């Protein structure tokens, strides 16, 4: 490393503004950021703690980073996100990467285009490092899919998300563990809120149509939303400046495609007057946002509702956290009052006299079948057709048995009570797709599905009646409540006792269950801190009227600013920083870099030897194997390095459907002027 000077920026807990400032000041390059995050993924995610959050890496990440550095050197940076690495859930289309949605049935499906959110971030210069873990089709939470599942960075004895609805678990873990600058998750029931709660993150679930879901694998199109995961509310606002814009292409986005309910344009949801295209980053923050706000907390989420049929039993340490959060809110001038929650009680018929939408004639009796069977069958088939992979572009051609196979030894999940009808066999969808027609088959247009139009209108009416009119009657500005009442244990998939508690009300799904997303209720979740006994985080959720998103964001920003309860995960310290030559990306062309990687026999049997040989004209060459720096021997432009990695790490399986990770080699070459280029190779695995 002769001629090296300085060091890259710290990645642990780095905010988007930290990274943007470091790039702008020349204290790092995008290439160095990509290398730094890849080293953390290799050390803590694929090996070591084996968090298993980012199973798919983007082979173009370094090339995209180099392009970003070149733009910046020319004074043509695309904005504050240019050059910043992030991850996306495995259900997002990222052009050229697989889009498996965690399912063995789609392991080799290749995305032919970018999802809207990816498209917007690419245009802003952000770099997708890779795809994050999820259960098959997002139809669950912590069940194991084609890539296994992500594990908690806080306490390995507990789950990284709610057991039955936390499918963005990989996004939550990757963001919490500083394996990326931010993550893109999704939510259908609580799959965005739940990982945020269990990983001390910020999550935003928008009102219908605020962020386009075009290019995301659908699960239940009436409920699906994009959910950004960040470590601070300010970071979330920076993303919303990019993501909350009108998308003229509505295909693949049910709510913006359907003709029955008029939605406001996304541009109308930005702060300030509609014509201003206001900035979230500058228009949302308000230290006094909570002053004078009257917030209701449903007493059922505190275990104080004796009439609730499926009673919620909170953990004592969670109640202690909420009491502290309540005090934080009140100290900022909010009034917090305990209330009933008729929207949820009626939705679940959880007590005598509670009547759901079908009981009151607001929803058609057949709406569940129209929504969960007919619409999802159509949406999955349309996604495959729109994606355009010639190897698989029809749902009828899919092997249904591979969509959500039960992992070896796993307990079969069965939801109960009001949710019994959600016990669906996903293998049935390709069967239905092979039958044309509206009777349990595949329709040509979703508008032809019987009862769907009346059901969609009914969902909107139920939200107005049971939530928004009730909030008005109670004089409430919004609701605030713990995102979960307890945290499930990590062995919930194989231990009956753990499984039972993980499936308890308030634990199996984030509080509010399926009603929140079904009614299009916007929420913002911020951490309350760690449970004293488990050292696991729990979130605080702000929820309110449809399209009151800005007010919720302001409340969350003010609460976070006053409380600052996020705690770093343990045991994942900063890795040794990359060295530099002069000012990063100051001038000159990037150096040439080419290398090969091989596995050599090791007689000891306990280790695997990795040999790297290559060529570069760079004066500074840095080489890492599984996140650890390796000594490099140089002879002119030629270089060579070897490293020994534990065989147990090299061969460890993270999924019964996939090969081990093997070893990850990262190489960064830096020219005398500071320009860098990089590359990575996985050897002996995926």
- The residues assigned a catalytic role are 89, 167, 191
Taking Cα atoms as reference points, which of 184, 260, 189 lies closest to residue 523? 189
Give the angle 189-109-667 at the CA atoms, nearest 5°.
Answer: 100
One DSSP character per residue, 655-682 reads: -TTS----EEEEEEEE-TTB-EEEEEEE
Beta strands in 490-551 (DSSP E): 523-530, 537-543
With both helix axes pointing from N to C terminus, report the angle between 549-563 and 233-243 in degrees, rounded to the nearest 10. Answer: 150
CB atoms within 10 A of CB 439: 10
DSSP 235-294: HHHHHHHHHSS--S--TT-HHHH-SSS----GGGGSSS-GGG---HHHHS--TTTTTT-E
The β-bridge relationship of strands 607-616 and 127-132 is unpaired
Report yes or no: 224 and 213 within 8 Å, Cβ to Cβ: yes
Contact predicate 343/466, CB 8 Å: yes
Q: Which residues have C-beta within 8 Å of that of residue 450, sequence separation ≥ 6?
A: 366, 370, 374, 438
Whether the CA torsion 166, 170, 173, 178 is positive or negative: it is negative
Contact predicate 357/458, CB 8 Å: yes
For β-strands 478-482 and 335-339, DSSP reports them as unpaired
Spatial distance between the Cα atoms of 543 and 549, rounded to a whole number of angstroms: 9
Q: How far apart are CA 487 and CA 502, in angstroms?
A: 7
Other CB atoms closer than 10 Å to residue 589's CB: what's the count? Answer: 11
Strands 294-298 and 335-339: parallel
Number of helices (H), then strands (E), in the chain? 20, 19
As a whole number of angstroms, the distance between CA 650 and CA 684 comes to: 8
User: Please, how many CA atoms are within 13 Å of residue 179, restricted to the half-sphere of its CB?
Assistant: 37
Instruction: Specify whether the CB–CB gap between 490 and 156 falls below 8 A.
Output: yes
The position carrying tokens 């814009």 is 245
Handedness of CA 399, 400, 404, 407 (dihedral sign): negative
DSSP output for 125-155: T-EEEEEE--SGGG-SSS--BTTB----SS-
In angstroms, the CA 452 to CA 221 distance is: 12
User: What distance in Å separates the CA atoms of residue 164 and residue 185, rounded to the nearest whole number?
Assistant: 16
Q: Which of 601, 622, 619, 621 is nearest to 610 (CA)?
A: 601
């Amino acid at each position: 490393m002769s001629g090296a000077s300085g060091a890259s920026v710290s990645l642990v807990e780095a905010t988007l503004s930290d990274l943007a400032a470091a790039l702008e000041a020349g204290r790092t390059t995008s290439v160095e950021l990509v290398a730094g995050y890849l080293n953390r993924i290799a050390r803590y995610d694929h090996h070591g703690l084996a968090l298993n959050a980012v199973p798919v890496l983007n082979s173009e990440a370094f090339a995209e980073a180099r392009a970003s550095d070149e733009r910046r050197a020319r004074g043509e940076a695309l904005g504050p996100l240019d050059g910043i690495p992030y991850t996306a859930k495995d259900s997002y289309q990222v052009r050229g990467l697989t889009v498996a949605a965690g399912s063995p049935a789609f392991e080799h499906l290749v995305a032919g285009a970018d999802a809207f959110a990816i498209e917007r971030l690419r245009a802003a210069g952000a770099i997708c490092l890779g795809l994050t873990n999820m259960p098959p089709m997002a139809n669950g939470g912590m069940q194991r899919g084609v890539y296994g599942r992500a594990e908690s960075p806080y306490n390995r004895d507990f789950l990284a998300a709610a057991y039955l609805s936390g499918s963005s678990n990989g996004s939550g873990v990757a963001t919490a563990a500083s394996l990326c600058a931010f993550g893109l998750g999704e939510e259908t029931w609580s799959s965005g809120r739940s990982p945020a709660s269990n990983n001390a993150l910020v999550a935003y679930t928008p009102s219908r149509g605020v962020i386009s879901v075009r290019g995301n694998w659908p699960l239940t199109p009436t409920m699906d939303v994009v959910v950004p995961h960040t470590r601070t509310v300010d970071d979330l606002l920076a993303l919303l400046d990019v993501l909350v814009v009108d998308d003229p292409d509505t295909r693949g986005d049910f709510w913006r495609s359907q003709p029955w309910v008029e939605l406001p344009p996304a541009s109308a949801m930005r702060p300030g007057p509609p014509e201003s295209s206001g900035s979230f980053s500058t228009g949302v923050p308000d230290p006094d946002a909570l002053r004078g706000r009257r917030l209701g907390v449903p007493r059922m989420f505190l275990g104080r509702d004796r009439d609730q049929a499926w009673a919620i039993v909170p953990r004592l340490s969670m109640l202690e956290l909420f009491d502290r959060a309540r005090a934080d809110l009140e100290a900022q001038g909010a009034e917090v009052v305990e209330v009933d929650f008729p929207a949820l009680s009626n939705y679940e018929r959880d007590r005598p006299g509670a009547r759901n939408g079908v009981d009151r004639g607001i929803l058609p009796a057949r709406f569940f079948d129209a929504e969960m069977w007919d619409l999802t069958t159509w949406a999955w088939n349309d996604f495959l057709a729109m994606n355009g992979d010639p190897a698989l572009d029809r749902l009828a051609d899919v092997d249904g048995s591979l969509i959500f196979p039960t992992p070896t030894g796993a307990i079969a999940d069965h939801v109960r009570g009001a949710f019994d009808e959600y016990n669906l066999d996903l293998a049935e969808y390709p069967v239905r797709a092979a039958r044309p027609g509206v009777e349990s088959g595949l329709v040509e247009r979703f508008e032809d599905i019987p009862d769907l139009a009346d059901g969609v209108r009914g969902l909107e009416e139920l939200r107005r009646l049971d939530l928004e009119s009730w909030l008005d009657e109670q004089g409430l500005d919004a609701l605030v409540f713990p995102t979960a009442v307890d945290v499930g244990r990590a062995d919930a998939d194989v231990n009956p006792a753990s499984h039972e508690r993980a499936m308890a009300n308030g634990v199996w799904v984030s509080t509010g269950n399926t009603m929140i997303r079904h009614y299009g209720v916007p929420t913002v979740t911020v951490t309350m801190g760690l449970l004293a006994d488990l050292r696991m985080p729990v979130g605080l959720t702000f929820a309110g009227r449809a399209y009151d998103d800005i007010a919720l964001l302001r409340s969350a920003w003010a609460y976070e600013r006053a409380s600052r309860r996020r705690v770093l995960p343990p045991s994942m310290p900063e890795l040794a920083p990359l060295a530099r030559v002069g000012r990063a990306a100051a001038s000159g062309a990037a150096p040439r870099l080419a290398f090969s990687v091989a596995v050599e026999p090791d007689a000891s049997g306990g280790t695997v030897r990795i040999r790297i040989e290559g060529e570069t004209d760079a004066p500074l060459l840095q080489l890492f194997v599984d996140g650890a720096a390796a000594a490099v021997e140089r002879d002119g432009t030629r270089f060579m390095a070897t490293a020994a990695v534990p065989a147990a790490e090299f061969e460890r399986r993270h999924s019964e459907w996939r090969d081990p990770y093997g070893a990850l080699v990262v190489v960064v070459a830096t020219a005398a002027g500071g320009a860098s280029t990089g590359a990575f190779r996985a050897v002996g695995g995926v």
